Amino acid sequence: MRFVERLPRMAIKVLITLAIVNLLIGVILRYVVGAITNYFDWDPVPFTWVEEVGEMSLAWLTLIGAAVGIRSRSHFTLHVLTPILPNPLQRAIDIVNHLLIAGVGVLAAWYAWYLCKLNWMLTTPGLEISLAVLYGSAVVGGILIVVYALSMIVAPPPPPSYDPTAGD
How confident is the model over 87-120, as pLDDT tens digits?
899 899 999 999 999 999 999 999 999 999 999 9
Write down the pLDDT at residue 4: 77
The alpha carbon torsion through 134, 136, 141, 146 (nearest 10 deg) reads 160
Does 161 reside within a domain? no
Question: To the nearest whole percent, how much of the chain has pLDDT over 90?
Answer: 65
Banded pLDDT at 62 (limits 50, 70, 90): very high
Write down the pLDDT at residue 161: 64
Quote the CA–CA distance of 116 and 38 in Å, as a whole number: 40
For the chain, the first-to-last Cα distance in angstroms comes to 41
Does 163 reside within a domain? no
Please, which residues bridge with residue 130 across strands?
123
Domains held by the chain: number: 1
Yes or no: say if 45 and 34 are a contact pair by the CB < 8 Å rule. Answer: yes
Does 167 reside within a domain? no
Write down the pLDDT at residue 108: 97
Does 61 reside within a domain? yes
Write down the pLDDT at residue 150: 95
Does 55 reside within a domain? yes
> Among residues 115, 126, 138, which one has the least CA distance to residue 61?
138
Rg over CA atoms, the chain: 21
Q: What is the mean pLDDT of residues 63-83?
A: 88
Write down the pLDDT at residue 106: 98
- Domain that residue 131 falls in: 2-75+85-154
Does 166 reside within a domain? no
| Model confidence at 121: pLDDT above 70 | yes
Does 162 reside within a domain? no
Kindly report, residue by residue over 29-55, the tens digit of the pLDDT: 989 998 899 888 889 888 889 999 999
For residue 156, CA distances in Å to 29, 75, 162, 164 come to 47, 15, 17, 23
Write down the pLDDT at residue 163: 59
Write down the pLDDT at residue 166: 58
Banded pLDDT at 57 (limits 50, 70, 90): very high
Banded pLDDT at 140 (limits 50, 70, 90): very high
